[in-house]
Amino acid sequence: MPDILLSTLNARYNHSSLGLRYLLANLGKFQANASILEFTIAMRPIDIVEQILAQQAKIVGLGVYIWNSVETTEVVALLKALAPEIYIVLGGPEVSYEAEEQAIVHLADYVICGSGEINFRELCGQLLEGNPPPEKIIRAISPPLDQLQLPYALYTDEDLQNRFVYVEASRGCPFKCEFCLSALDKTAWPFELENFLTAMDQLWQRGLRHFKFVDRTFNLKITTTLAILDFFLARLDEKTFLHFELIPDHLPEALKTKIQQFPAGSLQFEIGIQTFNPEIQKIISRKQDNAKSEENLRWLREQSHAHLHTDLIFGLPEETLDSFAQGFNRLIALNPHEIQVGILKRLRGAPIIRHTQDSQMVYNPRPPYNILKNSVIDFTTVQQMNRFARYWDMIGNSGRFEQTRPLLLGDNPFARFWLLSEQLYQRSQQTHQIALPRLFKLVHEIALEHLQIPRDRLEKALLADYAKTGQKGAIPFLEGQVLYQEQKGVKDARHQRQRRNLPA
């Protein structure tokens, strides 16, 4: 049984915690008596507690994040009720700021605010030696990266086969975008490149082919970026998949040349645009060359095989619905594979809080602390945008409406999809668990009634898209239509010929 148990509640089973593995890798002499046990937020807290108590650990360290803080608070409350002698130590971004006002902090014994690798080891030593420190809140100082043990050997074979494996070539960010916790960093710090690549090679030799980089600014230092890409190009096979977060306005020719060497399906870039409005960018301290960003996105879409996942944020201080709509249409024109429409969240510690009074920012008091209204957007509009974002994922980002989507968006994508999303909600009263045949039926009805798409073009596109979804059986809303009967007749005739062994 371990003396130290490291745990967290991941959003899904296929997620893994890089932070826990860093803590374990840097426990020094205590590592031999420590272990990791991960759960998901879908599990009942009482069942999680049962498994934790079965380990009989003296110290339980829990990673707390915006997505698991409610469930983790329940876990801590149950642990302290059932086994008050266990030391509960919290860490993670959710408890690293504004800690004193949080219920989970009052329940726990200690909280480490910031990068906890060194401070957690020191605290464990004090607790196991019977010298608990009097201070509950421990302000960690980020250690030099060359003093840290890399954690990648601690990913198990099960992790490599069934979970996302997260890696980082650097920490921190030099930019000051106020909605992000990285705005508190002074700069970005790289890990020693040779050691990092050695660790990546060890993962590769063990069979890992999907690498998800968590660096905020992967293309900040181009020489390092090129070296990492060269590392993977030398090993490239048909299973290789790499995810990077890129700065949109920094894509020098050397990097373009390297990107072009990767085949389709091997690269995914997450590119945060957030807003195209220069006035809003100034308000939130975001430096971005919009023209260069557009040029680079267009090049990536047209001249490379990379999959482009782009981000916009709704609810930024002083950004109106019209301003956001213009940015959305501008991004649509660049044709990225995905546009994630994010709703602004007030992350604890993020500098966005300085606009609360002047811009009348009202946030949900419970996680995920999403914006509810502000001086230029009312609550009803925010609710409409929440639905817009959900339906956009289902229709715009899913790839299931590849032929239909251009017809739906027309020459004013935001306005037309806003109308579509409102009609979808009015007719379904749902944003989740809409069966795919029903979704196709609703899109068909709304597109005919409100978007004035010619029936033959619409139904031809819907039939082509539905055929690719793998759904079996008839399309209910098209059974009576001539186009459907013609297509069905062709299929029936082909089936009869096949049964009689006749050429198609």
pLDDT in tens, 402-421: 999 999 999 999 999 999 99
Q: How far apart are CA 73 and CA 62, in angstroms?
A: 10
Distance (Å) of CA 277 to CA 113, 182, 325, 418: 34, 21, 11, 20
Distance (Å) of CA 172 to CA 180, 222, 241, 431: 11, 16, 24, 36
Architecture field, domain 155-377: Alpha-Beta Horseshoe (3.80)
Closest residue by Cα to residue 271 from 316, 221, 334, 315? 334
User: How high is the pLDDT of residue 1?
Assistant: 86
Q: Are strands 371-373 and 362-363 parallel, antiparallel or unpaired?
A: antiparallel
Helix 436-450 vs helix 413-428: angle between axes, to the nearest 10 degrees?
120
Q: What burial class does residue 273 get, using C-beta atoms within 10 Å of its C-beta: 0-12 exposed, 13-18 middle, 19+ buried?
A: buried
The answer for residues whose C-beta is within 8 angstroms of residue 356's C-beta and 6 or more apart is: none
Q: Regarding the domain delimited by 4-144, which CATH topology (the fold level of the hierarchy) does it fall under?
A: Rossmann fold (3.40.50)
Asked if residue 213 lies in contact with residue 184, where contact means CB atoms within 8 angstroms, the answer is no
The answer for residues whose C-beta is within 8 angstroms of residue 215's C-beta and 6 or more apart is: 168, 169, 170, 171, 188, 244, 245
Q: In the chain, what are the domain boundaries?
A: 4-144, 155-377, 399-504
Q: How far apart are CA 294 and CA 248, in angstroms?
A: 8
Owner of token pair 């401070």: 119
Provide the b/e sequence for 329-348 (b: ≥16 CB within 10 Å). bbbbebebebbbbbbbbbbb
Token pair listed for 483: 């186009």
User: How high is the pLDDT of residue 7?
Assistant: 98
Closest residue by Cα to residue 286 from 255, 317, 322? 317
Polymer length in residues for the chain: 504
User: How high is the pLDDT of residue 73?
Assistant: 98
Q: How far apart are CA 446 and CA 448, in angstroms?
A: 5
Q: How far apart are CA 27 and CA 36, in angstroms?
A: 12
Q: What burial class does residue 89 get, using C-beta atoms within 10 Å of its C-beta: 0-12 exposed, 13-18 middle, 19+ buried?
A: buried
- Helices within 355-398 (DSSP H only): 379-391
Q: How far apart are CA 335 and CA 337, in angstroms?
A: 6
User: How high is the pLDDT of residue 325?
Assistant: 98
Token pair listed for 503: 């050429």
Per residue of the chain (504 residues), give pLDDT as tens: 899 999 999 999 999 999 999 999 999 999 999 999 999 999 999 999 999 999 999 999 999 999 999 999 999 999 999 999 999 999 999 999 999 999 999 999 999 999 999 999 999 999 999 999 999 999 998 889 999 999 999 999 999 999 999 999 999 998 999 999 998 987 889 999 999 999 999 999 999 999 999 999 899 999 999 999 999 999 999 999 999 999 999 999 999 999 999 999 999 999 999 999 999 999 999 999 999 999 999 999 999 999 999 999 999 999 999 999 999 999 999 999 999 999 999 999 999 999 999 999 999 999 999 999 999 999 999 999 999 999 999 999 999 999 999 999 999 999 999 999 999 999 999 999 999 999 999 999 999 999 999 999 999 999 999 989 888 766 766 755 544 444 555 455 455 555 545 444
First-to-last alpha carbon distance for the chain, in angstroms, is 67
Strand partners for 243:
212, 268
